[in-house]
A and B are shown apart, each in its own frame.
Chain A
Amino acid sequence: MSEPLLVVEDLSVEFATDTGWVQVLDGVTFGVDRGETVGLVGESGSGKTVTSLSILGLLPPEGSRVTAGSIRLDGVELVGMPKRRLEAMRGDEISMIFQEPMTSLDPAFRVGDQIAEVVRRHRGGSRREAWKRAVEVLETVGIANAGSRARSYPHEFSGGMRQRVMIAMALSCEPKLIIADEPTTALDVTIQAQVLDLLRSMRDEFGTAVVFVTHDLGVVADICDRAVVMYAGQVVERSEIDALYATPHHPYTEALLSAMPQLVARTGRLATIPGSTPPAGSMPAGCRFHPRCGHVRDRCRDTLVAERRLDGGGTSRCLRVSDLVLKGSA
């Protein structure tokens, strides 16, 4: 079988701090197939955003470095690619949607012009053609009266509409891959449902692959085909989505699932995970999750744990994976 569309392999990233370089990603590995939506989940600080910025080649040039690993899109190596070529790919073959669209949209320009500009940069063509394409994609994402709304400025849109504009911009050059980092986190659930629906139909219509970064396991259940669970800069579990929720293979996944408050009637106190995520630069020895793990054994405290392939096709970074039966979500 040929390689997946996106391959992230053994990616390690460091950031400069007052006390020297600290590692924030350690050997991150996962793949994304064509037309597939893969969720990147974990608590804040686990490395989701650093992973997505790495794929986009948007890590801060000063103060950060990729120390190992490879990122390939359609077989083309992105790590170490010259800036100019990366810029040419961004918006064309890979595009992005972030949590706060206001920071990615220029308040001084009409949204139609901003989309047209992306189209012209990557596809060339006349102003007229690019404007036509902008209106077309605004229509695709469900902006009513797209022809006249294209003349509006970002501040004249609500939060949900701005996120649609971002999606329109991301789709304008029919990319192979979209990186969406918490794209619905700032939205109301009703608007989130609209945006998720939109992303689903874009995937069905254009076969766009999506890396969907979120901390919300409900959103992952709704939109993703597979998930990559991150903890403290490492991937701790990879799985197809139904299996992840039914039979998780890492105690951290189990703990996250049990902590999700549910819409059903309450049953006692809410579950918590003791302690908190370790800060970058002071990772516990052995399994990084061991100080918080309910299944910890002595050997977990000093044995380095590698990610292991499992029979079902997923992976787990837990020493006890073969003798633990973990609880999924009801």
Chain B
Amino acid sequence: MTHAAEAETHVDPTVPGGPVAEVEDLDVEFTLRGGLLGRGGTLRAVRGVDLHIGERETLGLVGESGSGKSTTGRAMLRLVEPTRGRVRLDGEDVTAMGRGDLRAARRRMQMVFQDPYSSLDPSMVVGESIAEPLDTHEGLDRAARSARVAELLEHVGLRGAYAQRYPYEFSGGQRQRLAIARAIALNPRLLVCDEAVSALDVSTQNQILNLLEDLQERFGLSYLFIAHDLAVVRHIAHRVAVMYLGEIVETAPTDRVFDDPAHPYTRALLSAVPVPNPRRQRERERIILSGEMPDAANPPPGCCFHTRCPQVMDVCRSVAPPVVAAPGGGTVRCHLHT
């Protein structure tokens, strides 16, 4: 554990003032119901996660399916209860809050999902869906309420008159704009975007990404941007955290992660993304990982990546690597760097 202390005190220069959101040693466990053999058990979906997100900062969270990205995001909003650890929003401990305080805190952190239908009621005109959080938290009079809805629609590049239409009358990209309008209705500090552009065509995806950047600039928003598309993350994130089997295995400013990945998993992940240029793609060095991510209910001992790591050493099979400062910035969790 030689470098651990150093790694923990590593302060990222991209965070001015204090962080907007801070996650410390977060654990989330799910209780599994007994299967055929009646063996229940627990699944640690998130294991000792540390994160921080600064003002106007976008932290990209990447990793394979089932690595714990959504669970991390949901635990930060306490949509799922953390089993251990702390989440702070503007310095306030969200994990310790009672119902009332939590309700107030939820104004300041909102979520945007892949499927905008999950936040738009198909039986309501969209203006009503967007106004819903206003009704819960602000109690505006009729005129102020519809003025605010129109204003929100314009913020996301839609016409105010659209408030009277139903969700099915909109395209996928427009529905995602509506979901964003609803999410920013209460002037949140933090948006957790969980695969928010994954279902969209590339051009529509880019329109939404540009919109998210504009809103960040304009309203000083911070984003936890969860995505499996690494090219999208390279574009939108200021820093990136890479998750594997519930752990953050590497985190650093975006350019460092992409240009000089320190963790063998990050290297494999990046090399697996095909680049849209046949000549360059043929010449690229590719690391094809064998097998798949192990079952989260049965994580391997030692380094969680050792079953697939091309650079595995003896020590990796039994000793969990500590988090250490990575060359060039950020941190990495790998024996190659200790």
Q: Which residues of A contact B (CB under 8 A)?
A: 43-44, 158-161, 188-194, 196-197, 215-222, 241-242, 245-246, 255-257, 259-266, 269-273, 276-277, 329-330
Contact = CB atoms under 8 A, between A and B. Distances in A.
Chain A CB within 10 A, most for which of B209, B213, B232, B276: B276
Contacts of A259: 202-203, 206
Contacts of B271: 193
Contact of B292 (A158, A256, A261): A158
B277 interface: yes
Interface in B224-240: 228-232, 234-235
A221 B277 contact: yes
B13 interface: no
A271 B275 contact: no
Chain A CB within 10 A, most for which of B64, B258, B273: B273
B207 A222 contact: no
Contact of B234 (A246, A255, A263): A263
Contact of A261 (B235, B270, B279): B235
Interface stretch (B38-46, B114-122, B158-166, B281-289): B281-289
A197 B288 CA distance: 9
A188 B64 contact: yes
B202 A219 contact: no
B269 interface: yes
A44 B268 contact: no
Given A189-B228, A255-B203, 4 more contacts: A270-B235, A272-B204, A329-B276, A329-B277
B216 to A, nearest CB: 13
B230 A263 contact: yes
Contacts of A261: 202, 206, 209, 229, 231-232, 234-235
A190 B64 contact: yes
Interface in B31-71: 64-65
List the 4 closest A-B pairs by CB distance, nearest first.
Answer: A218-B274, A270-B206, A222-B274, A193-B272
B210 interface: yes
B173 interface: yes
A192 B272 contact: yes
B156 to A, nearest CB: 15
A266 B235 contact: yes
Contacts of A196: 274
Interface in B193-231: 201-204, 206-207, 209-210, 213, 228-231
Contact of A44 (B201, B275, B286): B201
B255 A265 contact: yes
Contacts of A272: 203-204, 206-207, 210
13 contacts: A193-B274, A194-B288, A196-B274, A215-B201, A221-B281, A222-B274, A261-B202, A262-B234, A262-B275, A265-B255, A272-B206, A273-B203, A329-B277
B231 A263 contact: yes
Interface of B: 64-65, 171, 173, 201-204, 206-207, 209-210, 213, 228-232, 234-235, 255, 258-259, 268-279, 281, 286, 288-290, 292
A222 B281 contact: yes
Nearest to A241: B278
B235 A193 contact: no
A245 B234 contact: no
A273 B173 CA distance: 13
B329 to A, nearest CB: 15
Nearest to A225: B278
B240 to A, nearest CB: 12
A272 B197 CA distance: 14
A160 B292 contact: yes
A35 B306 CA distance: 38
Chain A CB within 10 A, most for which of B209, B277, B278: B278
Contacts of A159: 65
Contacts of B290: 194
A203 B323 CA distance: 43
A260 B278 contact: no
A265 B238 CA distance: 11
A43 B278 CA distance: 20
A221 B274 contact: yes
Contacts of A260: 202, 231, 276
Nearest to B203: A273
Contacts of A219: 274
A242 B278 contact: yes
B210 to A, nearest CB: 6
Contact of A190 (B209, B275, B277, B289): B289
A263 B275 contact: yes
B151 to A, nearest CB: 24
Contacts of B259: 265
A262 B204 CA distance: 16
A273 B270 CA distance: 27
A218 to B, nearest CB: 4
A275 to B, nearest CB: 9
Contacts of B213: 269
A273 B207 CA distance: 9
Contact of A188 (B204, B210, B228, B281): B228
Nearest to B259: A265
A250 B232 CA distance: 25
Contact of B279 (A216, A217, A242, A264): A242
Contacts of B273: 189, 218, 263
